[in-house]
Structures are given as structure tokens and as C-alpha cells.
Amino acid sequence: MKITSAEFIKSIADTGQMPRDSFPQIAFAGRSNVGKSSLMNSLLNRKKLVQVSSTPGKTRLINFFLINNSFYFVDLPGYGYAKVSKQMYKSWQKLLENYLQQSKKLTGIVVLIDLRHLITEADLQLIDWLEHNKLPVIIVGTKSDKLSKSKIIHHKKQNEFQLKKYNCCKIIPYSSVTGAGKSELWSDLMLLLDKKKT
Ligand code: GTP
Ligand code: MG
């Protein structure tokens, strides 16, 4: 995928502020600190377009980036981070749920899991909900550079086993450090975007 432009459009704290144009949206969801912002920068060959957190739980708003003047990447707030006040956490959860329910332009969701660990209950709940609502899901296993080749294969298989009842039962191992997995993920994203055009 040739990236000719990637611009930050807006951050929203309320779904009433979502972009009103008809460009398809691809959203990135996953636990706090799993590597959502890094993955987006890596896919777009940009170093700092999307803010990478030094402290987990930094992405509290929904951020929209317009790519090639034709589709959006949407950075969603991370879930499952305990060290914030309950009230704050609830308000992000609500924002996330509202977006997933209300966005008519949502074409697919990339759900990120940390390939070093077993998929969590919160991830499975999200995937369950997305599939129930007939939203296409792509699952990416992040931080693969922190694992040996054999561990990557093992953890991928182990997590795919947990996903066997879902359509999205394939995991794409990815490293935002080395770019491993980039072409495979782009080809799945292109399929989603092409589907939307027809
Ligand atoms: P929130 O916005 O807080 O939910 O986090 P996030 O999911 O956007 O994660 P982010 O991209 O900010 O990355 C969190 C930390 O993990 C940062 O220190 C990144 O440098 C690191 N990280 C992300 N992806 C990778 C990766 O593929 N490999 C390695 N080694 N580190 C990564
Ligand atoms: Mg982030």
C-alpha cells in the first residue's frame, strides 16, 4: 500500500463529533499498552503521527486520521487498564461502546492482542460482541520481536485455538519495531476497503 498522505483530523470525546463524510473507517482496538498507536504509525510509515504512550492508558479520546484522502484509521481508547479512576474508565468504555454502535462508516476493526500472552477475557468479550454485530474483525498479535520464531508459532496457535469458534480465527503476528507482518496486514485491510467500495 502506497501512503501518499496521512493527516490527523480530530480527537473526539463524544460520538456526536464523529466525521460526517462518507469515507470508510478502520478502527484499532485493544488493551492499553498493547501497541495500537505504534502499529498505526508502522502501517503508515510514520514515526510520530499517532502518539505512542510512555504511560499506559494515554489514548483517552477517539482519534481520526485520514489516509490517502480516502479512508480513516481510528485510534480507539485502550481498555483493561486498572490504574485510572473507575469513573474515568467508565467514561472511556462508554465512548468506545457508543462509537462501535453508532459509526455507520465502520468497515472493520483490527483487534490487537499481545502475542506474548494468552488472549484475555476482555479481548474475547470485544470479539464476541463485534462478530455478533457482524463487523469484520482482523486479529493482530503485537510485539512479535520480543519472541523467538518458535514461540511466535506456539503462541499464535495457542491463541488461535481460543478463537476457533469465531470467523476471525487467524492471528497476524506483527512487530512495529521490525515491520514484520506489515504486508500481510495491509492485504487484509485492502480486502476490507475494496469490499466497501463495491
Ligand atoms: P494506549 O494508547 O495507552 O492504549 O497504548 P497503545 O495500545 O496505543 O500502545 P502504544 O503504541 O502506545 O505502545 C505501548 C508501548 O509498547 C510503547 O512503549 C511502545 O514503544 C511499545 N511497543 C508497541 N509496539 C511494539 C512492538 O511491536 N515491539 C516492541 N518491542 N515494543 C512495542
Ligand atoms: Mg495509543
| Pocket around ligand 1 at a 6 A CB cut-off | 30, 32-38, 52-53, 56-59, 78, 142-143, 145-146, 175-177
Task: Give, for ligand 1, the residue of 44, 50, 53, 89 to mutate: max count of ligand atoms closer than 8 Å to Cβ.
Answer: 53
> For atom 14 of ligand 1, which residue has the closest CA?
33
Q: Domains of the chain (ranges plus CATH)? A: 24-197 (3.40.50.300)
pLDDT attached to residue 88: 66
In three-state secondary structure terms, 72 is strand
pLDDT attached to residue 84: 61
| Tens of pLDDT, residue by residue, the chain (198 residues) | 899 999 999 999 899 999 999 999 999 999 988 999 899 999 999 988 887 766 655 567 899 999 999 999 999 988 776 566 667 667 777 888 899 999 999 999 999 999 999 999 889 989 998 998 899 999 999 999 999 999 999 999 999 999 999 987 899 999 999 999 999 999 999 999 987 654
Contact 140, 113 (CB under 8 A): yes
Contacts 24+ apart (CB under 8 A), 84-92: 84/57, 88/60, 92/60
